Structure formats: C-alpha cells, structure tokens
Amino acid sequence: MRRGTCAWDMGHARKCMPRMSGPTPVDERLTWSCPAPDAPGMSASSLERPVLYCFSGSPFVWRAEIALCEKGIGYDRRVFRRKRGEHRIDEVRAVNPRMQLPILLWGKVALYESMAICHFLELEHPAPPLIPVATADRARALVLSQESHDLDSGCWDAFMIAEGDAKLGDDSEPRWQAHRKMHGEVQRWEAHAAAGGDYLVGDTFTLADIAAFPTIAFCVRYGLDLAHRAPRLAAWYARMASRPSVDASWPDHWRARPGKDAGFNEPGWQ
Ligand SMILES: N[C@@H](CCC(=O)N[C@@H](CS)C(=O)NCC(=O)O)C(=O)O
C-alpha cells in the first residue's frame, strides 16, 4: 500500500492523507501555547486544517500521525530534518521551548507532547473512540498509555547505540546496561500483550496501542528478534503494522528501504 492511503475506505483515505507542505507562515498563534478556542463550544476541528510539525521516523511524531489517521482527520505535514537541526527555529521554540516535535497547530491551538496531542484529538473528535467506555478497559488503556513513557526511556539508550551515538562509546558496560534495559521493557510489554487480546486492552484498538507501537517498531527496525524474544508482542506488532492508520503513517525512509537497519548488529543484541 502506498503512503497515505487507507485501505478500508478511499473517502477516508483522501481525508487522512497527509500533504507535504512548505514553510508555514509565522503568525500570532505560534506565540501562544494551547489557548482555548474563542467561542464557547467551538472546537479546533471546526477551524482550519491542522498542521503537524514532524520528523520522518520519530516515534513520538508517529503516535500523533496514527491518531490523526485513526480519527480520519486530514492534516498537512511540515517535515524537518532533525540531524540538520532544521527544527531549531523561533517558531518551534515559541510553541515548545524544548524544541521537540511533534507540534500540532490547529486553528488557534498549538500543542506539543505526543500523548497530549492524542488525548486532545480524542476529546475534540470522540469518534472513533480511542479510549474505551467500559470502566476497567478505560483504566487499563490510560495506565498503559502513561506507562509507554517507561517503554520509551527504557529503549532510548539502545536506540542511540543503534544509531551509532558516539557518546555511549565502546565501553561495553553502558552498552550492556542499555541492552538489559531495553530487553527488560520488551518483556514487560510482552506480559501486557499476553494479558490483552488482539490489542493491548482486550480486542479493541485503543490509545495504549498507539502509545506503545512506535517504540516497539523501532526495536524491530533495529533488528530485535521479536518473534523469538516476545511472541505475543510479535503477534500484536504484526496486527498493528497491518492497520491502515499505521501503514499510512509508516516512516518515509522505512518505506523507501524496507527491512531492518544495521542497528543492533552486535551478537546478543537481537
Ligand atoms: N515527550 C515528547 C518527546 C518528543 C521528542 O523527544 N521528540 C524528539 C524527536 S524523536 C525531538 O524533537 N528531538 C529534537 C532534538 O533532538 O533536537 C513527546 O512525547 O512528544
């Protein structure tokens, strides 16, 4: 399937297909951080088309893209090259002083933090729901969404090593520490997948799946042998990867070069 198409409904596909956009003009909304819409009852979704500031192949950006596609919300993408520091500009700093992406601009609203963006989309566009109605499932979805931050941080050093970050050096102990942390997290999420059903919370796709998927996908891309290490998570990963929203938002450079990156190329890392 090609980028931006959503198999289940071509009408939806057109809506959720991201458009690559040129520079967005600086305007006053960029000096605001999450102001409320002007008129009571007016949601951001009744205003203009949203713009997502992104890097191709950022796990955090990917969450926002999956949520946008699941909701069938058409959006434009403004793509920056992180390694070239293209995002280190005043416009970005004005919204997120940490100068991290994703950033979502929508009408007068400017927000950052991937999970905040997903929650915001859920509140603005309740259908289809990403948070279950049943109390126990709702609780579980929220817990796992929050716990995904531990998954991110548990895998982060391993990802930096996979990308050849020199700061982690050749010293083997920090490298193996990063390895153990990542595998410890993967086993936790294997247990979550085993306690779930088709998805992490029973058989229904939820915010928890969006929260966890990109980081697990990066583990796979860097060479983690998920089928061997975590078979329940591997089945979940395959189910997730075939969702139209995930396919439509698959990182551009992964699509251009399918397969795995060199990543975890040391014996024992996979
Ligand atoms: N907690 C943030 C983390 C965002 C984040 O770390 N984004 C990375 C992209 S992977 C970034 O913008 N890095 C900027 C930089 O490295 O200068 C979220 O969930 O959105």
User: What is the position in ligand 1's atom list of the atom closest to the CA of 64?
Assistant: 20
Helix axis angle for 231-241 and 172-195, nearest 10°, is: 80
CA of 113 to the centre of ligand 1 (A): 8
Q: pLDDT band at 62, cuts 50/70/90?
A: very high
- CATH number for the domain running over 10-124: 3.40.30.10
Amino acid symbol at 218 = F
User: Do 10-124 and 135-256 show the same overall fold?
Assistant: no
Second CATH level (architecture) for the domain 135-256: Up-down Bundle (1.20)
Percent of the chain whose pLDDT exceeds 70: 80
pLDDT of residue 41: 43
**Tokens standing for residue 154:** 């548990």
Pocket of ligand 1, beta carbon within 6 A: 55, 58, 60, 82, 99-102, 113-114
Percent of the chain whose pLDDT exceeds 90: 68
- Of 43-47, 78-82, 235-239, 243-247, give the lowest mean pLDDT range: 43-47
Averaged pLDDT for residues 34-45:
42
pLDDT of residue 258: 86
pLDDT of residue 262: 78
Q: Mean pLDDT for the chain? A: 84
User: What is the position in ligand 1's atom list of the atom closest to the CA of 88?
Assistant: 17
Query: Which tens digit of pLDDT belongs to each residue from 153-209?
Result: 999 999 988 888 766 666 688 888 999 999 999 999 999 999 999 999 999 999 999
CA of 61 to the centre of ligand 1 (A): 8
Averaged pLDDT for residues 26-48:
42
CA of 203 to the centre of ligand 1 (A): 30
CA of 40 to the centre of ligand 1 (A): 32
**Tokens standing for residue 190:** 């294997």
For the chain, the structural domain boundaries read 10-124, 135-256
Averaged pLDDT for residues 142-150:
98
